[in-house]
Structure 1
Amino acid sequence: MFDSGLTRRSLLTGTLAAGSLGLAGIPLARAEPQWKKFSGSTLEVNLIKSPRGDILQKYEKEFTELTGIKVASEQIPEQQQRQKAVIELTSGKPSFDVVHLSYHVQKRQFEKAKWLADFSAFLKDASLTEATLTESDFSSAGLLYARNQQGEMRSLPFSVDYWIVYWNKELFAKKGLQYPETFDDMVRAAEALTDPKEGIYGFVARGLRNANVPVWTSFLLGHGVDPVDASGNLLTDGPEAIEAAKLYQRLLTKAAPPGVAGFNWSECQSAFLQGKIGMWLDGVGFAPPLEDPTKSRVVGKVGYGVMPRGPKTRASATFGDGIGVTEASQKKEAGYLYCQWAISKLMGGRLLQTGSGVPFRHSVLNDAEIRQGVKMPAAWVDAVAESAKISRLGLPVVIPVTEFRDIIGTGLTATLSGGDPAAEMRKATEQFKPVLERSERA
């Protein structure tokens, strides 16, 4: 097991860089960080209530043992935590030094307001940063989330949710089918598996307005296109976006169970657990119940597949959260040490092994000792590691993310009752365009 006394002592005595946990190619002579430099400080830490927050709180005494820095942390339910963070950061006098943020919702807002301290210089400082913490160890999506347009790192990537395809190996075998390699293969397999008389359907994904947008972006990314480009141009009614909407419509009307227009992830998961669904597209974090014999009829029958290749590329829609230090904090270096500990290989291993989250760091996902302690099947970990290599942001980096999901999601849901994908995407784009423009002017 990774979470052993030896490994813990190795971290606490500052020998991480020279030990077996180091990345290949890291010079062993690099000095260790001065962990005790800010001993006696107290950090106020604002966390999102989640299994990730639980892990951080559970082991924060180890951080104090390592650094001498005391931690006063609180977990707040996600929506309330976001509201509290924005109100206090806007005031310029937040009550916390360290904050947990949802990248896929808050990245642009936090960057535009410059609420977080710049870690760029800290990352290069051997007195603050241990040798295994390198930018190359983060997945591409993690770096996209953490870096701003100026290339500054104002947070550290913490936990990620890659989208994969859960597939029922038993149903595939009965039809003599292989796991799909392309979008076209996925359509063929979904339709071949569908048998309404037997109550079997080849595909399920979110049909509910707002919740359904990541399904569509998963398809759009396979065309090599983001919903909003790097220059801020909205691409939601382009030819690729329309093709992605057509694929969404076809799979959810030709191969999905009745009522799918009202499905969020929970309804999709429930359907897949019954053993009557061929494929389910969603985040890796929904896997544990599938292997629980008290909840699942598909234990031992589940395949975990990397997103099939689209017309231009293979891409895994990615969502995630990070952790940073407020610009207003007078304890930036101490806060940075906490953030570094939070996303360390030790803590990342604990996240992965307990099913509390998936780290952005390649060195955690590829570590054989850590993987041995993971309760999920090896195929799940393989899907996570492979998805990390093809990760792309699953939502645009804009302030009105909720409005984007509401408006685009309405158009997508309309296609399930016969709406024309091209017309619906053009209408939704026209509705969202002024919302986006106003947010950028504010």
Structure 2
Amino acid sequence: MSDLLRLRPTRRHLLATGAAAGALGLAGLRPAAAAVDWKKHAGTTLEVNLIKGPRGEVLNRHAAEFTALTGIKVSSELIPEQQQRQKIVIELTSGRPSFDVVHLSYHVQKRQFDKAGWLADLSGYMKNPAMTEPSLTEADFSAAGLTYARTPNGEMRSLPLSVDYFILYYNKELFQKKNLAVPATFDDMMRAAETLTDPKAGTYGFVGRGLRNANMAFWGALFLNHGGEFLDARGNILTDGPEAVEATKYYQRLLSKTAPPGVVGFNWMESMAAFTQGRAAMWIDGVGWAPPLEDPNASRVVGKVGYAVVPKGPAGQFSATYGDGIGVAQASTKKEAAYLYCQWAVSKLMGGRLLQIGGGVPFRDSILNDGEVQSGLKMPREWLDSAIGSAKISKLGLPVVVPVAEFRDIVGAAVTATLSGADPATELKKATDQYRPILERSEKA
């Protein structure tokens, strides 16, 4: 077995990293009681549907604390992400879901849930001091979180739970050997990547997602910083314009010239493996992938990893943002009790736990900037700073549409084709022409 495969972080390892949150002590971090009647629904049992992963694991592991606080019993079901997405849509479509509380992936399901009206409006609960502790306000959520949680008419149909900002990971040791500074612009990043690429030594300047569909998360980060907007004011897709073409040319050059062989088949896991092996000097991906990089059992670059906000592009500086939320099923007969669970899930206590082990970044600015939470951070301070900085420049990294999977498949295939030499403008036009009627049909449905 090659070194690359032997040290490749597994999904089990990542979940175990999140599970470590159970051992964290956050003395003094408890949901503020204020005037909230936490015991109002004591004796109720809630059915909670969670995505299996660091965020869902933390909520499930500490559910007994919620029960102690409220007297509400919790029955949690944790399901792997792809299966969970399919299951909840089937159940919500039926009108008789088996759950009261649901964990949703905003970047995939936002538009679908809004159109269908599957989630209860939480706006009234948030304004009610008998239901909501004072620090939980809309203003405390980042702009991206509010964009995800609000419907077009301003209703809060979920609470933003955890955000995944795309940041720049870099190998300090490789940069120091070449006496290079952390790139401040896309031009700097390209020059550094080319300078740091040495195939004879087995090191490359950059690694990133080249695999169709998966690559849209990384490509989106380049697209936004080239001035791209996914949709115009009428909802028309804009992936064949000059901004998209220039972003794809940059992507093509970066991964074709400075990435390891086989990058066309890389998802986040293969990219992480190359970076943790010390074979790649830079990597742009989600902030939540950091814990394995600092784990000596999974990484050869422990103590050598730098974290920074994404460099400034030709048309601005944005962090492509993805995330998940938690909401109450419209069909639930236990909406108030379910809302109390959602409020607990996004509390300082739970968000602080998640942040401290690097398993996720809360959407709430007050948690990110809290000194008590920061004092217990298990990750390097640079990592937290990159998250705080990214929150200020966050922008949604995928279009808010129902057929997101089709978008990622079709446009992703076009972008991947350029790594084999295909012309970006030609490929993007074909992909956009193919996708446009799919999007139009979904909006008319």
Fold shared per TM-score above 0.5: yes
In 2, Cα distance between equivalents of 1:275 and 1:84: 39
- Return the alpha-carbon distance in structure 2 between the equivalents of residues 264 and 40 of structure 1: 45
| 1:433 counterpart = 2:408 | no
Question: What's the offset of the Cα at 1:144?
Answer: 0.8
User: Which residue of structure 1 aligns with residue 269 of structure 2?
Assistant: 266
Aligned partner (choices 160, 163, 181) of residue 160 of structure 1? 163
Match of 1:411 among 414, 420, 435: 414
- Whether the 8 Å contact between 1:42 and 1:72 is mirrored in structure 2 is yes
Question: In structure 2, which of residues 288, 307, 318 is the aligned counterpart of residue 315 of structure 1?
Answer: 318
> Is 1:299 aligned to 2:321, yes or no?
no
Q: How does 1:196-215 map to 2 (within 5 A)?
A: 196-215=199-218
Alignment partner, residue 3 of structure 1: 25
Conserved in 1, the CA contact under 8 Å of 2:236 and 2:436?
no
Letter in 1 for 2:123: S
- 2:10 maps to which residue? none
Equivalent residue number for residue 127 of structure 1: 130
TM-score, normalised to structure 1, is: 0.93
SS at match of 1:203: coil
Unaligned runs of 5+ in 2: 1-22
Residue 42 (1) aligns with residue 65 (2): no
Corresponding residue for residue 359 of structure 1: 362
Contact 1:3–1:346 (Cα < 8 Å) also in 2: no
Cα shift at 1:134 = 1.1
The one-character-per-residue Cα deviations of 1:1-29 (angstroms, maximum 9, x if unpaired) are 98344434xx3xx44xxxxxxxxxxxxxx
Match of 1:64 in 2: 67
Q: 1:365 & 1:5 partners in 2: Cα distance?
A: 17
CA contact (8 A) 2:26 2:349 kept: no
Q: 1:95 Cα deviation (Å)?
A: 1.4
| CA offsets 1:410-430 (integer angstroms, 9 cap, x no match) | 101110011011111111101
Residues 104, 321 of structure 1: 8 Å contact kept:
yes
Q: Which residue number corresponds to residue 223 of structure 1? A: 226
Give the partner amino acid of 2:212.
Answer: R
Aligned to 1:24: none
Quick check: 38-47 or 161-170, which moved more?
38-47
Partner letter of residue 83 of structure 2? Q
1:391 to 390, 394, 400: 394
1:299-331: per-residue Cα shift (whole Å, max 9, x none)?
111110101111221111111110000111111
The 1:5–1:301 alpha-carbon spacing in structure 2 relative to 1, beyond 3 Å, is closer
Residue in 2 aligned with 1:28? none
DSSP 3-state at the match of 1:72: strand
Equivalence for 2:193: 190
CA distance in 2, matches of 1:51, 1:398: 26
Counterparts of 2:67 and 2:47 in 1: how far apart (Å)?
Answer: 13
Does 2:101 align with 1:90? no
For residue 246 of structure 1, what is the aligned residue in structure 2? 249
Distance 1:230 1:132 in 2: 34
| DSSP-derived class of the 1:100 partner | strand
Structure 1, unmatched stretches of 5+, are 16-30
C-alpha contact (below 8 Å) 2:166/2:285 kept by paired residues? yes
CA deviation profile, 1:390-423 (whole Å, cap 9, x unmatched): 1111111111111100101110111001101111
Compare 404-413 and 166-175 and name the one that shifted more. 166-175
> 1:354, CA displacement in angstroms?
2.8
- For the Cα contact (< 8 Å) 1:48–1:75, is it kept in 2? yes
Task: Tell me what 1:379 maps to.
Answer: 382
Give the residue type in structure 2 aligned to 1:189: A
Matches of 1:231 and 1:310, distance apart in 2: 26
Q: Does structure 1 conserve the Cα–Cα contact (< 8 Å) formed by 2:209 and 2:215? A: yes
CA contact (8 A) 1:217 1:227 kept: no
TM-score relative to the length of structure 2: 0.92
Matched residue pairs, number? 423
Question: Would you say the 8 A contact 1:222–1:310 is kept in 2?
Answer: yes
TM-superposed CA distance for 1:123, in Å, is 1.1
Is the Cα–Cα contact under 8 Å of residues 42 and 71 in structure 2 kept in the other structure? Answer: yes
Please name the residue that 2:15 is paired with: none
Given that 1:215 and 1:248 are in contact with CA atoms closer than 8 Å, whether structure 2 keeps it comes out as no
Once the two structures are TM-superposed, the CA of residue 284 in structure 1 deviates from its matched residue by: 1.1
Q: Could you tell which deviates more after superposition, 381-390 or 351-360?
A: 351-360
Contact 1:207 1:260 in 2 (8 A): yes
Return the alpha-carbon distance in structure 2 between the equivalents of residues 124 and 230 of structure 1.
31
Match status 1:81 vs 2:84: yes
